[in-house]
Structures are given as structure tokens and as C-alpha cells.
Amino acid sequence: MSLSLLLEDTGNRLMKVNIVVFGRLKDRFGGRSSLEITMVDPAKLRQAIRAVEAGGEPLGADVAVAVNGRIVRGDADLQDGDEVLLLPPVSGG
Amino acid sequence: MVALSDAPIDVAAVLGSVRDDACGAIASFTGVVRGDEEAGDRVAALEYEAHPGMAVAAMRKIGEEVAGPESMRCAIHHRTGRVAVGEVSVVVAVAAPHRAEALEACRIAVDRLKATVPIWKKVLFTSGRTAWAEGTPLA
């Protein structure tokens, strides 16, 4: 699955971000655990989330977001090749 | 001292890994998959998935927090993949000089494991139905 988020034709270069989902969020993507989105550089985490939510329900406040393995609160700058992790409530044990 | 694996957990080996001559107490928790029944449908197994890097880091952090004093030791092993009813899904072991701190640290480690480690479980029923378990939002 691949989504393109072209905000405006600024002539800026494109960058790819890998979205990885876990648990119940995989059902939302038809059982897939990752999808790649193409964004205009520079891009923000909030824009990537908006692209994932497009056409569906908002992710919900109980979903934590991490970039390259680190939990991020609020917005952040994304770089080409970043991995955005969407982490629903955890249920280990 | 922490491990995430799709292989069966050797409970005795985990307990043995925290043994220390300075520790007179080893407290442990063993989580076993329960054969619940729900509306005539019985649980057959749980299927665990994790973000391996974040999960191992979170388990290490728990171990460091609960076994802070140099005299204490903590081990946490968690399964991934399919774990059948009756099989061990997780083992937490804490060694301390005395039983009170070992028991308390073990309890805290299990509570934190359930709330802070990026692991998710899906319930597999004998009918073939599946359901994601409710969880705790990562703070």
C-alpha cells in the first residue's frame, strides 16, 4: 500500500516515510503491518498521521506515536527514511 | 537478563539466572495462558507480537528500576508468537537479600511490564474467531 501526500507543488524533493502499525491497528490496514507514504520534504509528523487517518476514523488518543523507536509527544520534523510507529494500548503479560 | 523469544521459556533457567550468593530470596511471577470461555467459545491460544527493539529496551529499564540497588537482580522473559493454553507466556524473577524487597520488586516489575512494554496479544478461540486483547495506553 502506498499513499502520496502532495501538499503543494513547491518543487521541493519528495521523501519516503515508513508507517508501522501494531495490534488492532493492523486490522485497519487490512492485516498489513506497514505502509510507505511519500511526502514533500520538509514534512511533519502531524502530516504523516493525517495521511494515515485520511478516509477513516481518527487514530484515537490512546494510540502512542514513536519515530525510529522513540516515543514522540506532539509534533516533530520527519526525515527521509524515518519509521513512524503507531502503538495502540499494550497488552503484554 | 531480559529476553523476547518465540521459543518456550525455561522457568528454572530464568530463576537460576538471578541467583547470587548475596541474595537470600528469589521472588518470581509466571504468567500462564488461561483457557477462558466466552459465550460458548473457548480460548485456544494467545498470539503475541512486539516491537522487539522497544520491548527489550522497556524490559531492561524495568529491570534497572526495580533492581536498582547493586544487591538485587531482575530477569524478565516474554514470549512472542502463538502460546497455547497452559503454556508460559512470561516469567519475571527478582533476587534480593531478603524476601520483602524481592516480592515487592517482582510485583512492581509485573505491573510495569503490563503497562509499558510494547507487546500486544490477540486471543485465538477454538471456533477460529480472533480478538485483540484490551490494553493499557502507553503513557
- The CATH number covering residue A72 comes to 3.10.20.30
Closest residue to A90, CB basis, from B31, B90, B120: B120
Domain of residue A45, residue span: 2-87
Contact B78, B3 (CB under 8 A): yes
CA distance B121 to chain A (A): 6
What ipTM did this prediction achieve?
0.93
Inside any domain, residue A92? no
- Return the residue of B nearest to A64 by Cα: B138
Q: What is the pLDDT of residue A2?
A: 52
Check residue A55 and give its pLDDT: 74
Kindly state whether residue A52 falls inside one of the protein's structural domains.
yes
User: Count of domains in chain A?
Assistant: 1
CA–CA min distance A54, chain B (Å):
23
Can you list the domains of chain B with their CATH numbers?
2-132 (3.90.1170.40)
Q: Which class for B3: exposed (0-12), middle (13-18), buried (19 or more C-beta within 10 A)?
A: middle
Residue A24 touches chain B, beta carbons under 8 Å: yes
How is A27-65 classified by DSSP, letter by letter?
A: HHTTT-SEEEEEEESSEEHHHHHHHHHTTS----TT-EE
Residues within 8 A of A (CB atoms), B 12-51 only = 31, 48-51
The answer to whether position A93 is within a domain reads no
Residue range B121-130, pLDDT digits in tens:
999 999 999 9
Distances in Å between the Cα of A59 and the Cα atoms of A41, A90, B12, B120 are 24, 15, 42, 17
pLDDT of B43-98, one tens digit each? 999 999 999 999 999 999 999 999 976 789 999 999 999 999 999 999 999 999 99
Question: Inter-chain contact A90–B110, Cβ cutoff 8 Å?
Answer: no
What was the pLDDT predicted at A6?
53
Question: Around Cβ A65, how many Cβ atoms within 10 Å?
Answer: 21
- Give which of A13, A15, A6 is closest to A79, Cα–Cα: A15
Q: Is residue A48 part of a domain?
A: yes
* pLDDT at residue B42 tops 80: yes
pLDDT computed for residue A9 by the predictor: 57
| Chain A CB within 8 Å of residue B107 CB | no
Cα separation, A7 vs B58, in Å, equals 36
Q: Enumerate residue ranges in chain A where pLDDT < 50.
A: 1
CB-nearest to A91 from B54, B57, B135 is: B135
> Which residues from chain A sit within 8 angstroms of residue B115, using beta carbons?
90
Confidence of residue B38 (pLDDT cuts 50, 70, 90): confident
Is the CB of A5 inside 8 Å of chain B's CB atoms? no
Percent of chain B surpassing pLDDT 90: 94
Q: Is residue A77 part of a domain?
A: yes
**What does the pLDDT read at residue A3?**
56
Cα gap A78→B130, rounded to integer Å: 35
Q: What is the pLDDT of residue B109?
A: 98
Q: Which chain A residues touch B54 with a CB distance below 8 Å? A: 66, 69, 85
Is residue A25 situated within a structural domain? yes
B31, B110, B135: residue with CB nearest A90? B135
Q: Decide if B12 contacts B75 (C-beta within 8 A).
A: no
